């Protein structure tokens, strides 16, 4: 889905707050115009920024995972060189306000030490092991051994990854042979839909290099390994040397602080975990605690097989594998297999108001992510319609959502139990705000003027885009208000951080008030971002 207008404004605001207005000018130029070369940016950016400044800003944004460089192969026979272009990563910019959520995921699953290492990567974008150790000496002081072990855990859990290729080269699409219509290869291999997907696919290394086997050697084992490697190398042929080289590329030894492998947070994995957590909460609200426990176990079993975040369905899972995972959790230890099977039957059942959250196929069970997320999205949209337009509009909107087709005005009035004279005005209001799709049909053949025949439909893509834009707008307003409140009391907040200063009287009351405002605005934006991810990321 393309970025909306307020989505772009919100992303530019995030960059402005964290990096300044000059950096945000470059970012806005890329967001509005698409991928550009550095010279094009310096020419098109709405500010007098030199080419050298543009390059420095691009390096900064790349360091913080907000921009990806790439180039496209020139056509065959062309003497021109491939020009490096820069693609802004819109989602990664928005992820910058979710760092607290990412840290909480790691702290809950892997512990505080892993959270500290992750925080270093989140705040600096990309770091080597040596830089993580150097940073620790200046701040947390958890120790080199703990940092190595924590990094090992983070990579194994896919929360941290090796950085992508700095400048992937894309093939020229005009030169690629067209696939035969209906061919087997065309059905199996689906081309990425957007340039961003093509660039990211080309930049991200294969799984074994992206998440290498990370280990820590002690000095004794290292010496022994070196001796044995020397003996083996003297007798090895060329093929074995190539295999060994590939294995060393996949393995990373953290016992050497000078190791130059650069690491960064893997946002994809964090969004996957937050998506799973949201699915469990949705099922818990609409079914019960037992069904939520079983679904959480299914997500754990199938997570390693998910190739992308927005996958519609999980891999098939047997009852046995699901039950084995259930009993490893604290809330599921007392559950019998019969109870797990009953929960699976409940999750597989459909009703007039709930779809099946799990699909049963030949004794195996598949999680239907799309059905779970769609229910939550529908509830969010209907809640907005109820607040904004009232109960009658809510009934009309729900009826049109269930029908999924164009329906005439009178039939909507009958189904929603509303006055026929009021129905067109309510429908028109929702149409004007982008929540309905309308078609007009002129009536001919009669004498005199006959008003056009109106048909109405809920277009989910249009409504989703409208909801997203409104949520970006609301997030922007909350962030602007929070920035304004903190800036207006900047001196007081700085004064309160000094250890030898005690605030009393009116100053203390002002401090309490500004902290309460900060908490309210931050928590509101936090909850709004949960709803935003439901439409944009899940």
In the DSSP assignment, the letter for residue 206 is P
Q: Report the pLDDT averaged over residues 138-166.
A: 90
pLDDT, position 245: 45
pLDDT digits (tens, 9 = 90+) for 448-480: 566 678 899 998 888 999 899 999 999 999 999
Q: What is the dihedral of CA 522, 523, 526, 532, to 10 degrees?
A: -110
Return the residue matching tokens 């039950």: 323
Residue 79 — pLDDT band, cuts 50, 70, 90?
low
Q: Report the pLDDT averaged over residues 163-188.
A: 65
Domain boundaries, the chain: 5-90, 97-170, 272-369, 390-458, 463-537
Q: What is the DSSP string of 214-263?
A: EE---HHHHHHHHHHHHHHHHH--HHHHHHHHHHHHHEEETT-TT---EE
Residue 139 has pLDDT above 80, yes or no: no
Long-range contacts of 2-8 (CB under 8 A, 24+ apart): 3/31, 3/90, 4/465, 4/468, 4/469, 4/472, 5/469, 6/469, 6/470, 6/472, 6/473, 6/476, 7/90, 7/468, 7/469, 7/472, 8/32
The top-scoring range by mean pLDDT among 225-239, 267-281, 458-472 is 267-281
* Percentage above 70 pLDDT, the chain: 85
Query: Which tops the pLDDT comparison, 226 or 168?
Result: 168
**Residue 508, both tokens:** 């203390």
Q: Do domains 5-90 and 390-458 have the same CATH topology?
A: yes
pLDDT, position 1: 56
pLDDT, position 497: 81
Residue 238 has pLDDT above 60, yes or no: no
pLDDT, position 223: 37
Which CATH class name applies to 5-90?
mainly alpha
Residue 492 has pLDDT above 90, yes or no: no
**pTM here?**
0.85
In sequence order, which residues have a C-beta less than 8 Å from that of residue 14 and are 6 or more positions away?
Answer: 93, 94, 96, 97, 479
In sequence order, which residues have a C-beta less than 8 Å from that of residue 303 and are 6 or more positions away?
Answer: 272, 276
CATH topology of domain 272-369: Arc Repressor Mutant, subunit A (1.10.10)
* Percentage above 90 pLDDT, the chain: 62
Residue 226 — pLDDT band, cuts 50, 70, 90?
very low
- Of 323, 320, 343, the C-alpha closest to 333 is 323
Give the chain's count of helices (H) and strands (E). 25, 13
Please list the residues that pair with 410 across neighbouring strands: none
Is the CB of residue 524 less than 8 Å from the CB of residue 517?
Answer: no
In the DSSP assignment, the letter for residue 3 is P
Is the CB of residue 454 less than 8 Å from the CB of residue 439?
Answer: yes
In sequence order, which residues have a C-beta less than 8 Å from that of residue 407 and are 6 or more positions away?
Answer: 399, 400, 415, 455, 456, 457
pLDDT, position 6: 96
Residue 295 — pLDDT band, cuts 50, 70, 90?
very high
Is the CB of residue 185 less than 8 Å from the CB of residue 179?
Answer: yes
Residue 427 has pLDDT above 80, yes or no: yes
CATH 1.10.10.10 fits 390-458, yes or no: yes
Is the CB of residue 98 less than 8 Å from the CB of residue 529?
Answer: yes
What is the average pLDDT value for the chain, to the nearest integer? 86
């Amino acid at each position: 889905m393309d970025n909306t207008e307020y989505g772009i404004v919100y992303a530019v605001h995030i960059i402005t707050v964290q990096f300044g207005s000059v950096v945000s000018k470059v970012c806005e130029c890329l967001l509005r115009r698409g991928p550009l070369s550095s010279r094009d940016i310096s020419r098109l950016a709405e500010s007098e920024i030199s080419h050298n400044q543009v390059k420095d800003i691009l390096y900064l944004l790349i360091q913080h995972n907000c921009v990806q460089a790439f180039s496209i192969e020139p056509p065959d026979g062309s003497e021109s060189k491939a020009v490096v272009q820069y693609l802004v990563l819109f989602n990664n910019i928005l992820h910058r306000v979710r760092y607290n959520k990412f840290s909480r995921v790691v702290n809950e699953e892997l512990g505080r030490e892993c959270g500290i290492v992750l925080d270093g990567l989140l705040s600096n974008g990309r770091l080597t092991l040596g830089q993580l150790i150097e940073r620790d000496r200046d701040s947390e002081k958890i120790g080199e051994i703990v940092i190595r072990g924590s990094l090992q855990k983070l990579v194994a859990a896919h929360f941290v990854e090796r950085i992508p290729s700095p400048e992937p080269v894309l093939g020229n699409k005009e030169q690629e042979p067209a696939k035969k219509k209906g061919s087997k290869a065309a059905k199996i291999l689906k081309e990425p839909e957007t340039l961003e997907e093509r660039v990211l696919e080309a930049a991200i290394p294969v799984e074994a290099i992206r998440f290498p086997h990370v280990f820590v050697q002690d000095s004794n084992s290292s010496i022994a390994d070196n001796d044995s490697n020397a003996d083996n190398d003297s007798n090895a042929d060329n093929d074995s040397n190539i295999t060994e080289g590939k294995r060393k590329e996949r393995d990373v030894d953290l016992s050497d602080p000078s190791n130059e492998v650069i690491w960064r947070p893997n946002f994809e994995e964090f969004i996957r975990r937050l998506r799973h957590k949201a699915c469990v909460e949705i099922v818990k609200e609409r079914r019960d605690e037992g069904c939520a426990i079983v679904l959480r176990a299914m997500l754990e079993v199938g997570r390693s097989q998910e190739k992308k975040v927005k996958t519609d369905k999980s891999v098939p899972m047997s009852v046995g594998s699901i039950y084995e995972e259930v009993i490893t959790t604290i809330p599921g230890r007392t559950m019998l297999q019969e109870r797990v099977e009953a929960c699976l039957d409940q999750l597989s059942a459909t009703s007039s108001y709930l779809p099946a959250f799990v699909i049963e196929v030949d004794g195996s069970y598949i999680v239907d992510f799309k059905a779970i997320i769609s229910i939550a999205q529908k509830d969010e949209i209907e809640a907005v319609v109820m607040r904004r337009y009232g109960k009658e509009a809510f009934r009309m909107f729900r009826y049109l959502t269930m029908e999924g087709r164009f329906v005439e005005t009178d039939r909507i009035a009958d189904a929603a139990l509303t006055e026929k004279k009021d129905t067109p005005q309510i429908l028109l209001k929702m149409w004007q705000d982008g929540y309905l799709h309308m078609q007009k049909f002129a009536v001919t053949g009669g004498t005199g003027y006959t008003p056009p025949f109106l048909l109405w439909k809920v277009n989910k893509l249009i409504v989703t885009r409208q909801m997203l834009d409104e949520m970006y707008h609301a997030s922007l307003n909350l962030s602007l208000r929070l920035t304004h409140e903190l800036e207006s009391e900047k001196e007081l907040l700085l004064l309160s951080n000094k250890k030898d200063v005690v605030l009393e009287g009116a100053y203390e009351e002002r401090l309490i008030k500004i902290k309460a405002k900060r908490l309210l605005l931050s928590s509101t934006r936090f909850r709004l971002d949960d709803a935003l991810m439901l439409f944009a990321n899940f």
